[in-house]
Structure 1
Amino acid sequence: MRTVRTATPRRYLMCPPEHFRVTYSINPWMDPAKPVDPVLALFQWEELRDRYRSLGHTVEVLDPVADLPDMVFAANGATVVDGRVLGARFFNAERTDEAPAHLAWFRRNGYTEVREPQHINEAEGDFAVTSQWILAGMGFRSSPLSHSEAQEFFGRPVIGLELTDPRYYHLDTAFAVLDDAAGEVMYFPDAFSPGSRKVLARLFPDALLATAADAAALGLNAVSDGRHVVLPRGATGLFAPLRERGFEPVAVDLSELHKAGGSVKCCTQELR
């Protein structure tokens, strides 16, 4: 019997790609020699924003800052759980100034429990939240020391997962939460160390496992409201398995932003 899914209204924080360019390379997707169409990038971002609103979600907008071309990837700026905000501390110097811009937004908007982290973490790039745990990536960007810091701050168990493929440099490029209450997820096993694959199999024995082709299309860089799963349109191999589980895949085109190694989830910070 097919599971009946219920969408839960969400609040998201997004930042328009007004200054988006690929002017440096800090992951294997980025090639400054390949041109970026900033007009198309903005159009694609607006389509994603409008799609969220059409699904009944609220989208708050963070003003972009000049000379911070990756600020469009708002998921990396902070992690919010139960109204508590843990800021980011970026690994690469090129993105350092994004962190205070995010924290300033939260303080302006009435958040009172806002913490600037001591250890490197790239927020929802490497933190995936379910009702029971926070799954935390490490290996390329976020420090393992950030895991205990997040656990102490949020009061939720944090489970570390080691990433081993540089194409999947953040957890959110290889792992997505489909239903946070039920603990349903999808992931690409080959992005993880052998031990982390065993942990994932134990925690999520019924997970949807992505193919290499769908991972390469950034199909795991997805956002779910418990029913609708917004994901890149190129991840076609995920559509039928999602439908079989009762989810509704919502395909979008963020091909310009893929040139910097980011897609749906990278552009979307959830305000829990």
Structure 2
Amino acid sequence: MCPPRYFAVDYAINPWMDPSQPVDVARALAQWTGLRDIYRRLGHTVEEIEPRPGLPDMVFAANSGTVIGGRVLGSRFRARERAGEAEHFRRWFVEHGYRDVIMPSRINEAEGDFAWTGRILLAGTGFRTDPEAHAEAQEILGVPVLSLRLVDPRYYHLDTALFVLSEETESAPARIAYYPQAFSAGSQRVLARLFPDAVLAGVADAECFGLNGVSDGRNVVLPVEATALAERLAAQGYEPVLVDISELRKAGGGPKCCTLEIRK
């Protein structure tokens, strides 16, 4: 995670960003701290990277890389405003002992568009990550990759429209939650075929970034406004943990955007 010390909305690279609206950096930092502390309270280890001036979106650490089995596929941003983040995150991985760090040749916005199910890497495209980056991820990470097309610009990253509730194990398949209308008709059919027991979200939960959730298989961290989704998950045995990310949402981010999951 990366604290939003230099958080701002000085430009618009997604439909949620409006530079004319004021941003409260202190509030953003307090919300981020609350999210970090929730992870720690749930027993997870949180490592932090130092933010850099001039990179206000660095708080969205999910875009910094994809880590599976200790191998790191770095990021390459489409927007020039975020391009500088990639090298800072690459250095962090190297300085923290990761020896297998490979930077992509194609536009690849990391866990923003990649979701690991324990067997298959779900990969989004349509607005940010290049389709060719999916094949590159398969070659570098050595895992099967399934491409999904996003069609609604409000859900410009896969992690704004889908997240993994529990990874596949020997005894149980993976489970996901997603917002169907964010995907092309063909991608909707693929998801329905692969995940027939998925939790489907409605428009209200999608619009508050309810699909930008983080799950450890039991506890599911969601924006506080995602009440219907939280109720649906609770009914199925999950433990919703609600967090206020309203200030960070002004830049088009939520819990998952702030969180890179490192799988060693």
Give the TM-score taking structure 1 as reference length.
0.95
Of the candidates 27, 43, 55, which is equivalent to residue 56 of structure 1?
Answer: 43
**Are 2:69 and 1:69 equivalent residues in the alignment?**
no
Question: Structure 2 CA distance, aligned partners of 1:85 and 1:134?
Answer: 14
User: Structure 1: which 5+ residue stretches go unaligned?
Assistant: 1-13
2:62–2:111: 8 Å Cα contact kept in structure 1?
yes
Of the candidates 62, 75, 96, which is equivalent to residue 83 of structure 2?
Answer: 96
Any idea what SS the aligned residue of 1:255 has?
coil
How do 1:138-153 residues align onto structure 2 when only pairs under 5 Å count? 138-153=125-140
Aligned to 1:17: 4
Of the candidates 47, 50, 59, which is equivalent to residue 34 of structure 2?
Answer: 47
**Are 2:114 and 1:127 equivalent residues in the alignment?**
yes
Any idea what SS the aligned residue of 1:185 has?
strand
Any idea what SS the aligned residue of 2:108 has?
coil
Aligned to 2:252: 261
**Are 2:179 and 1:192 equivalent residues in the alignment?**
no
Question: Which residue identity lines up with residue 49 of structure 2 in the other structure?
Answer: L
Question: Which residue identity lines up with residue 220 of structure 2 in the other structure?
Answer: V
Of the candidates 152, 160, 166, which is equivalent to residue 179 of structure 1?
Answer: 166
**Are 2:200 and 1:209 equivalent residues in the alignment?**
yes
Question: Structure 2 CA distance, aligned partners of 1:132 and 1:124?
Answer: 16
Larger mean CA deviation between 237-246 and 251-260 belongs to: 237-246
Question: Structure 2 CA distance, aligned partners of 1:45 and 1:196?
Answer: 33
Any idea what SS the aligned residue of 1:201 has?
helix
Question: Structure 1 CA distance, aligned partners of 2:74 and 2:230?
Answer: 33
Residue 131 of structure 1, CA deviation: 1.0
Any idea what SS the aligned residue of 1:152 has?
helix
2:113–2:125: 8 Å Cα contact kept in structure 1?
yes
How do 1:76-87 residues align onto structure 2 when only pairs under 5 Å count? 76-87=63-74
Any idea what SS the aligned residue of 1:219 has?
coil
Residue 155 of structure 1, CA deviation: 1.2
Residue 24 of structure 1, CA deviation: 0.1
**Are 2:150 and 1:163 equivalent residues in the alignment?**
yes
Any idea what SS the aligned residue of 2:122 has?
strand
Question: Structure 1 CA distance, aligned partners of 2:152 and 2:35?
Answer: 28
* CA RMSD in angstroms, aligned pairs only: 0.5
- In the alignment of these two chains, the number of paired residues is 259
User: Structure 2: which 5+ residue stretches go unaligned?
Assistant: none
Residue 153 of structure 1, CA deviation: 1.0
